[in-house]
Structure 1
Amino acid sequence: SEMMIMANWLMARFLSERNLPAIFRSQPDPKERLYNEDQGTLFQNWMQRRLLSRFVLSSRSERHSGLGLNAYLTATSPIRKYFDLVTQRQIRSAFDLDTPYTDREIERSLHSLEQPMFSVSRLQYQRKRYWLLKYLEERIGKKEEALVLNRRRNGYQVLLTEYLTECMLPVSSGVSMRSEDMIQVTIQHVNARKDTLSVYMA
């Protein structure tokens, strides 16, 4: 994956330096930084994710905070991603092998594909979660390590550290925990089709 990111960055820089429009990806800085770049516990990293800004698609390059790059786009999967195909065609145009896309054509592509891209991303998330829950169905009654994230009205939001997935932990009124506490929970009920996961204190 690191080589893919490097290839995408090099192609983004190539097009940006030649002032050619493309479908660039950028990401503004986080709303807040919880720790320095060379530090960070699992708790801090997980909470930092909630403060990340959404990526932005535009016809001109801007900084991608998450990757730490001054320009970024995708170009390595032209068979299954239309955006990557557009990028490769634009690179060909830099060598006079194809007609270059204009800014207006790029913007039109962005507008027409924005909603389908959101739907695809949502579908990919749901697919991954389904198969994770399907696996956890086989672990009902098993103990798992969990990280306490924060207090909620009816319990605690916890992170199953082995699977990096959140769930609610209902507790009795006498139980008190703090964020960052590591605890043991038991998987109580899982239903992949209904997207449900429940645990209790081990």
Structure 2
Amino acid sequence: QIKQLLSGRGAMFSADELAGVAGDINTVLARVSQVRRTRHRYWLLRYLEQKVGARVEALLVNKGPKRINLTLLDCLLDADMPPSQSLSAKPGDVVSVRVAKVDALDNVLRLEW
């Protein structure tokens, strides 16, 4: 575009055409970002497949009435699970959870108290 203008031939693309190209690029970049996140999660789940049945430490991030949000400390993976009646921990506490089921291909991670 700049080369065309400097050579005196006028703009190669109109503003609408450039806006369309920019929209297409943003769509592709969003998809690339999603693939990158999915790939990263896949490899973290592959790592956790080796730990099925083992207990791991997790940072309690948020505690709601129906879900508890955790970050597994050994791989920094975010996860959530139903609350435990006996859990007296609060956000910021480190808790121990058991890795119950992991399937990297199906994007499944199930944790238990």
TM-score w.r.t. length of structure 2: 0.75
Residue 151 of structure 1 aligns with an amino acid whose one-letter code is: K
Match of 2:72 among 148, 157, 160: 160
Q: 1:178 aligns with which of 74, 90, 102?
A: 90
**How much does 1:109 deviate?**
3.3
- Candidates 149, 157, 181, aligned match of 2:61: 149
Partner in structure 2 of residue 127 of structure 1: 39
| Partner SS state of residue 158, structure 1 | strand
Q: What number of residue pairs does the alignment pair up?
A: 107
Q: 1:106 to 1:181 in 2, by over 3 A?
A: same
Structure 1 residues 165-174 or 143-152, which shifts more?
Answer: 165-174
Give the structure with higher Rg (CA): 2
Match of 1:114 among 26, 33, 45: 26
CA distance in 2, matches of 1:102, 1:180: 54
Question: Bigger shift: 129-138 or 168-177?
Answer: 168-177
In the alignment, structure 2 segments of 5+ residues that lack a partner are 7-11
Gaps of 5+ in 1: 1-89
Identity %: 26
Relative distance call for 1:172 and 1:112 in structure 2 (3 A) is closer
Question: Counterparts of 1:164 and 1:102 in 2: how far apart (Å)?
Answer: 46
Highest RCO, 1 vs 2 (Cα 8 Å, sep ≥ 6): 2
